[in-house]
Amino acid sequence: MKDKTNLPPTKPNSNLRKIILTAIAIFCGAIIAWIVFINLPQTPFEVTEVNSNQPTETNSQQSDEPSETVDPDLPFDVSVVYSPGYLIDLGGMEKMHPFDIRKYEKIHNALINDGLLTEEQTLKPTPVTNEELLLIHTQGYLDDLKKRKKVAQYLEAPILQMAPVSLDRAVLEPFRRASGGTILAARAALTTGIGVNIGGGYHHAKPDRGEGFCLYADVPIAIRKLQSEKLIERAIVIDVDVHQGNGTIVCLPDDDSTFTFSMHQGDIYPIPKEVGDLDVELDAGMTDEQYMEVLSEHLPRILDGSDADICFIVGGCDPLDGDPLASLKMTPDGIVKRDHAIVQACIERKMPVVLTLSGGYSPDAWKSQYKSIKNLLETHGLATVAGSASSGVEETSKLEK
């Protein structure tokens, strides 16, 4: 071992080198600590951000500026859109399909029975027009929808080929009307703050084909419609159905005017997934608490960064425990809290918000969405545009296309 006393004396520039090296070491240590400790996932469940074309800080700062296209004094009351014309009636054969097409009717009836809404206070939509469908869909696809076999395939309903009904009147028109409902709910949201369509959310429909029980891409159509009328510039889609909103992503190809966020179970349909602006994959078995933790981690920054003039929620209730097509473990109260949190976050940012219902396949799934809409009505109140029979009718026609 060398005798330390024999070491050459320390030179002044050697001291300087030590100071610089120490500073570099401290800086690198801080970076490593930040990566390891601060950036760790906040949940024991695996959450995979598949793509993160996330809003930047610069965008976030821009969002503080009030949008020129949206009324800054929105009351944030709830407008409810529904029509009995949403019902698909295959002469009873529709009951063989996993989707409970009567859920819209059940929810509307329950809200009326609770005294939260009347028929006259319900905004009634007209079906989307061919011109509106062409904002997203190809003419070839719309022609395909005249073929019963194709529609049966898209809806995964072979029984449709045997149903003794008019394809257009019994199946296509209800979908077109419910899609018109999303446009109407969006128009209403721009006036009252919150629009609820008791239907819609067909987030698997693509420009050139239907898929996963979805025929028309109602949310993308509504976005393009409002953009074409210069009522909005930018829109964000928050898709919390348990399945990825793959159709929405394909319908809204990468452009600065839309932001798609989907939070879905990773190991179920659709496989493979599409790449949206932000996709968060969840593991099976997730509970309300864990789900809300993930949602609250992403919600503020995507809303702030989106600079959107309107937010569309694709609020499927298939994250519920017991859903036959998924395996999350949420409760009905969890669905209520989820929707409440998203709406609240929009209100805090003065951002009009539209709720669409999308999927949910357990027998009592409709009850959780009924409770969610009931909660919104009890929390925020029914919009005054639909507040009385006379003004309701008048404003309904005004809001219709």
Q: Encoding tokens for residue 62?
A: 């821009």
Half-sphere exposure of 345 (CA within 13 A, CB side): 24
Q: How far is the CB of 199 from Zn ion (least distance, A)?
A: 14
Tell which one of 260, 359, 362, 380 touches Zn ion (CB under 5 A). Answer: 359
Residue numbers 294-353 binding Zn ion by CB under 5 A: 316, 318
Q: Which of 173, 163, 201, 168 is nearest to 185 (CA)?
A: 201
> Residue 265: which residues within 8 A CB-CB, separation 6 or more?
242, 243, 281, 282, 283, 284, 319, 326, 327, 328
Return the number of the residue (132 or 241) whose C-beta is nearest Zn ion: 241
316 or 352, CB closer to Zn ion?
316
Structure-token pair, residue 304? 């702030």
Which residues have a Cβ under 8 Å from the Cβ of 368 and sit 6 or more positions away? Answer: 317, 320, 332, 335, 336, 360
Asked if 211 touches Zn ion (CB under 5 A), the answer is no
Distance CA 256, CA 130 (A): 26
Angle (nearest 5°) at CA 370 between 368 and 372: 70
Beta strands in 210-328 (DSSP E): 235-239, 258-265, 278-282, 310-314
Return the range that interacts with Zn ion (CB under 5 A); candidates 40-48, 120-128, 143-151, 237-245: 237-245
Residue count, binding to Zn ion (CB under 5 A): 5
Residue 204 appears among annotated catalytic residues:
yes
**Does the footprint of Zn ion cover residue 243 (CB under 5 A)?**
yes
Question: Which amino acid does the sequence have at 284?
Answer: A
Minimum CB distance to Zn ion, residue 317 (Å): 9
Least separation in angstroms between residue 293's CB and Zn ion is 21
Nearer to Zn ion, 212 or 392 (CB): 212
- Among 97, 203, 204, 243, which one carries the catalytic annotation? 204
Minimum gap (Å) between residue 309 Cβ and Zn ion: 26
When the beta carbons of 332 and 352 are compared against Zn ion, the nearer one is: 332
Phi, psi of 207 (to 5 degrees): -55, -35
**Is 277 an interacting residue with respect to Zn ion (CB under 5 A)?**
no
CB of 359 to Zn ion, least distance (A): 3
Which of 211/241 has CB closer to Zn ion?
241
CA 45 to each of CA 117, 284, 291, 334: distance values in angstroms, whole numbers, following the listed order: 40, 9, 9, 17
Question: In the bound complex, what is the minimum distance in angstroms from residue 243's beta carbon to Zn ion?
Answer: 4
Q: Is 241 in the site for Zn ion (CB under 5 A)?
A: yes
- Pick between residue 97 and residue 243 the one whose CB is nearest to Zn ion: 243
Q: DSSP H helical segments within 349-388, as ranges?
A: 365-380
The pair of three-digit structure tokens given for residue 3, joined into one six-digit string? 């005798």
Residues known to be catalytic:
204
Which residue ranges make up the site for Zn ion (CB under 5 A)? 241, 243, 316, 318, 359
